[in-house]
Structure 1
Amino acid sequence: MELAAIALFLVAGLASLFMAWVIGAGSSGATPFAPAVGANAIPTMQAAFIVGLLGFAGAITQGANVSATVGSGLIGGVEIPAVGVIVILLVGAGLMAVGIRTGYPIATAFTVTGAVVGVGLAIGGAPAWATYQQVGAVWVLTPVVGGGIAYGIASVLPRPDAPETVTVPVLAAIVGVVLANVEFAFLGPGGTMGSLTGAVGRQVGSGLGTTAGVAAVVAVGIAAVVRWDINRDEAGGLRHVLLVLGSLVAFSAGGSQVGLAVGPLLPLFSTVGALSPAIILAGGGVGILAGSWLGAPRMIKSLAQDYSDLGPRRSIAALVPAFLIAQVAVLLGVPVSFNEIIVSGIVGGGAAVGGGSAVDPRKLLVTVGAWAGSLGLSFVVGYGVMTGLQVA
């Protein structure tokens, strides 16, 4: 390989690490524990430390699906060269850095997706309309579904006829059922992707009965532990549930967001066989971890304090749909914005309890405008810069 090509590959790798750092400092690092910090369940710095570790774990065990979509599913007919990869990552990371600097949660999924499509079209690629429809549907439904679920949960939790010794364990059981069926690297045959129910099924015999049985055991066990904990100490039990949910969302964030940083690298490095996908995912996970530790506290504080006055119940209401939506996105391989997920949950939960007074409408409108603007701007900048480089 020529020296110039090696230099381009090196710069592309560094751009990917920078993007991963920005994701850890902003989207992946800030959003999962923002509700818990807002509910005073965990200090900001401790949250940033934990979310970094969990994001790294999620990146290496669940990052493959979204990485594949970002790397080769958004544009057809061409392979994006190293220069294009650099443009994509720098445009996406640059807009994210602006969001971190100003305190507004720019959506990473929007910036990277816009940049990939812009650069891909500039070099003659074909639009992947089917993928765009799927991605667009998830983006549009996320605030509706996430906010709606959060609103419903937050409406029920404070009711005297729905004791928390029943409602919270039921919510925990639902999360447990999903968790038992979530696919992780290394749980499948031969170290491939697989779920807990699938792993047990290979030992005792697969089938619908086995899957349902394993999920039921997990759900009942989790519900029993949560009920016991809340009966023993209500405030402490709610705090424990909140922290576990935040941890699950942080893990899911790593599995989803790492694809935005390393996805463009996968086809690039696969052409030369320089690095395996597992190593690239691990490198992205390290970048997310570093960004979470060093840059996330500012955005955590912004989300926790500026969007809604959160208590533990509304925070639980925000995190349950966040985990569910995140895992659906990981399963589908759809790049999704964790800022959008968490903000929708915070707004839905806050509206259920406090009505319009619990939400800052100006902040919300500016945030939505930043999301839409980042998608369009990243597309225009990516297309323009790549077109200019080809002319030059």
Structure 2
Amino acid sequence: MTKVETAALVQGQVFARIGLSVLFLVAVWIFTSTQGLTGQGLVVSPFVVAAAVIGGYMAMNIGANDVANNVGPAVGSKALTLTGAIIIAAIFEAGGALIAGGDVVSTIKSGIIDPSLMPDAATFMTSMMAALLAAALWLNLATYLGAPVSTTHAIVGGVMGAGIAATGFGAVNWPTMSKIAASWVISPLMGGIIAAAFLYFLKVNVLHKVDKIKAAEKWVPLVVAVMAGAFTMYIMNKGIKHLYKSSWTEIVIAGVVVYALAWFASRARVRVRSKNMENRRKSVNALFVMPLIISAALLSFAHGANDVANAVGPLAAIVSAADSGQIVTKAGIPLWVMLVGAVGISIGLMLFGPRLIKTVGQEITKLNPVRAFCVALSAAITVIIASALGLPVSSTHIAVGGVFGVGFLREYLAHRETKRNRLSAIAAMAVGTTEGLHAVENATPELQHMPKIHSEQKARNRMLVRRQHAWTIAAAWIITVPLAAALAAGLYFIMMALGVKP
């Protein structure tokens, strides 16, 4: 009876979440239908209303899947509770979208297809609807499978597939697509290497020192200041680019100034807090909790400012084409369209986000505040480096790559430590000293069963990063663009066959 009651409760919660999401989409439908009465000169057709509902569905899926990368490490390290993370992310995601999301959006994401090859505005609008729906459906499936994927890549695949279906393969900008394909490797690799490098630095210079508190007083202010400077540059480059277009000179100067201010402030804070701290790793971890919470908020703000375009870009294209009767590559975003995207992301996060938050923060590898801090820092630095070099990268791939980088570094260090201890015991046995004999006596059971012990230790090391999640996520990343493209092409042909046109 207890199992039946528990199962009923779980199913009830699932149906409640689905019901609330349907209510949101109904509200979008009603809200969009009234926009023709506002005197803005826009006649809202049933096609535009349907597109708005699909845009709201896409926004919810972005909130359910993509936002987990911003707050997952903070939740996994227990710097934030799941509820606290959802509240912070929802506020800053919506704030980023509404404050810094911009009033103009590119209707053809990343210049994937040539809109001039579209025969007419109706074909263009139909292809954009197919692209939007295909991306939303794939994100929904990826969330169900527990795989954090790039929403940018999903919408890129959707636009590409719908564009090919509408105009042929010649419409696709293949050099741009090759760069996006390269980002599948570049993004996680850069994020993983940078996160692992910072974690190794902190382990060597702080966590493995005899006097950890004294080492923390020296090095923690430095890395916190690096994070403050990096996030300043990140926000100026990505978070407020629609409000103010900063030059790289301005970005670098602002980063250096904030770095200096943060170093002085952090040094004073660490000295005050370290006076009554015990000389333990747990004490050092506590110094990174507040910077980690701030980083989660800033990542969410920047994500809302940038990725809301993934939800409202095609929708804005449809609205603009319906209003003007022409194909546009840059479309103004009506306030109601931006509201659909911002509110949809927040609702999707609150209703369905916990699943991916747990995957990123807890199920790939075990995180503590220091490790999660390195992941957040790598996300900001990687985006800055990639932007400076003109490389297309995915924030999702960077964050998840950072988590894997931290986990694989832990595996490597654990394996190296085990190997060092085993070799020390063998060397001591060969020397035959008093200390060596004592080491041999303690090590003999292990040496007698070395193949078995080595196998068991190898298995334990491997569990530091769960391979099942690694393969699932990697596979989802690889198939995102082609699957979304195939789905969008299929939906476009179905719409045309059923006569679904503006």
TM-score, normalisation: structure 1: 0.84
Is 1:307 equivalent to 2:364 in the alignment? yes
Contact 1:256 1:335 in 2 (8 A): no
Contact 1:61 1:184 in 2 (8 A): no
Is 1:85 equivalent to 2:124 in the alignment? no
Letter in 2 for 1:231: R
Q: Size of the alignment, in residue pairs?
A: 377
Letter in 2 for 1:351: F
Alpha-carbon distance in structure 2 between the residues aligned to 1:327 and 1:224: 24
What pairs up with 1:209-220 in 2 under 5 angstroms? 214-220=254-260
User: Which secondary structure state, in structure 1, belongs to the residue aligned with residue 203 of structure 2?
Assistant: coil
Alpha-carbon distance in structure 1 between the residues aligned to 2:179 and 2:102: 18
What is the match of residue 228 of structure 1? 268
TM-superposed deviation, 1:186: 11
TM-superposed deviation, 1:12: 0.5
Is 1:265 equivalent to 2:315 in the alignment? yes
Rate the CA distance shift 1:365–1:314 in 2: closer, same or farther, 3 A: same
User: Which secondary structure state, in structure 1, belongs to the residue aligned with residue 161 of structure 2?
Assistant: helix
TM-superposed deviation, 1:334: 8.6
Tell me which moved more, 273-282 or 292-301: 273-282
What pairs up with 1:171-186 in 2 under 5 angstroms? 171-181=223-233, 182-183=235-236
Alpha-carbon distance in structure 2 between the residues aligned to 1:132 and 1:15: 25
Contact 2:74 2:292 in 1 (8 A): yes
Is 1:49 equivalent to 2:87 in the alignment? yes
Is 1:113 equivalent to 2:163 in the alignment? no
What pairs up with 1:101-180 in 2 under 5 angstroms? 101-124=144-167, 126-160=171-205, 163-180=215-232
What is the match of residue 348 of structure 2? 291
Alpha-carbon distance in structure 2 between the residues aligned to 1:44 and 1:192: 31
What is the match of residue 9 of structure 2? none
TM-superposed deviation, 1:300: 0.9
Alpha-carbon distance in structure 2 between the residues aligned to 1:86 and 1:352: 43
User: Which secondary structure state, in structure 2, belongs to the residue aligned with residue 135 of structure 1?
Assistant: helix
Is 1:386 equivalent to 2:497 in the alignment? no
TM-superposed deviation, 1:257: 2.0
Alpha-carbon distance in structure 2 between the residues aligned to 1:167 and 1:18: 45
What is the match of residue 194 of structure 1? 245
Rate the CA distance shift 1:313–1:124 in 2: closer, same or farther, 3 A: same
Q: Provide Cα deviations, 1:165-204, integer angstroms capped at 9, x if missing partner.
A: 344333333333344444379978xx94234xx7xxxxxx
Alpha-carbon distance in structure 1 between the residues aligned to 2:465 and 2:124: 44
TM-superposed deviation, 1:49: 1.2
Rate the CA distance shift 1:39–1:134 in 2: closer, same or farther, 3 A: same
Alpha-carbon distance in structure 1 between the residues aligned to 2:388 and 2:93: 17
TM-superposed deviation, 1:110: 2.6
Gaps of 5+ in 1: 199-206
TM-superposed deviation, 1:129: 2.8
TM-superposed deviation, 1:308: 0.3
Instruction: Calculate percent identity across the aligned residue pairs.
Output: 25
Rate the CA distance shift 1:332–1:50 in 2: closer, same or farther, 3 A: farther
What is the match of residue 4 of structure 2? none
Tell me which moved more, 259-268 or 270-279: 270-279
Aligned to 1:17, which of 46, 49, 56?
A: 56
User: Which secondary structure state, in structure 2, belongs to the residue aligned with residue 33 of structure 1?
Assistant: helix
Tell me which moved more, 264-273 or 360-369: 264-273
Is 1:354 equivalent to 2:411 in the alignment? yes
TM-superposed deviation, 1:225: 2.1
Letter in 1 for 2:236: E
Letter in 1 for 2:198: I
Contact 1:157 1:164 in 2 (8 A): no
TM-superposed deviation, 1:115: 1.0
User: Which secondary structure state, in structure 2, belongs to the residue aligned with residue 75 of structure 1?
Assistant: coil
TM-score, normalisation: structure 2: 0.67
Q: Provide Cα deviations, 1:224-255, integer angstroms capped at 9, x if missing partner.
A: 22233333334432101111111222222222
Q: Provide Cα deviations, 1:342-362, integer angstroms capped at 9, x if missing partner.
A: 210001012222334421112
Alpha-carbon distance in structure 1 between the residues aligned to 2:218 and 2:104: 36
Is 1:38 equivalent to 2:91 in the alignment? no
Rate the CA distance shift 1:57–1:148 in 2: closer, same or farther, 3 A: same
Rate the CA distance shift 1:146–1:166 in 2: closer, same or farther, 3 A: farther
What is the match of residue 202 of structure 1? none
User: Which secondary structure state, in structure 2, belongs to the residue aligned with residue 359 of structure 1?
Assistant: coil
Alpha-carbon distance in structure 1 between the residues aligned to 2:47 and 2:362: 42
Q: Provide Cα deviations, 1:269-317, integer angstroms capped at 9, x if missing partner.
A: 2235589426233431221112122221122112222100111111111
Alpha-carbon distance in structure 1 between the residues aligned to 2:82 and 2:332: 35
Contact 2:225 2:263 in 1 (8 A): yes
Alpha-carbon distance in structure 2 between the residues aligned to 1:329 and 1:61: 25
Alpha-carbon distance in structure 2 between the residues aligned to 1:41 and 1:346: 16
Contact 2:183 2:394 in 1 (8 A): no
TM-superposed deviation, 1:386: 1.3
Rate the CA distance shift 1:291–1:40 in 2: closer, same or farther, 3 A: same
TM-superposed deviation, 1:72: 6.8
Letter in 2 for 1:365: W
The 4+ residue runs of structure 1 with deviation greater than 6 A are 184-188, 328-335
User: Which secondary structure state, in structure 1, belongs to the residue aligned with residue 356 of structure 2?
Assistant: helix
What is the match of residue 333 of structure 2? 277
User: Which secondary structure state, in structure 2, belongs to the residue aligned with residue 42 of structure 1?
Assistant: coil
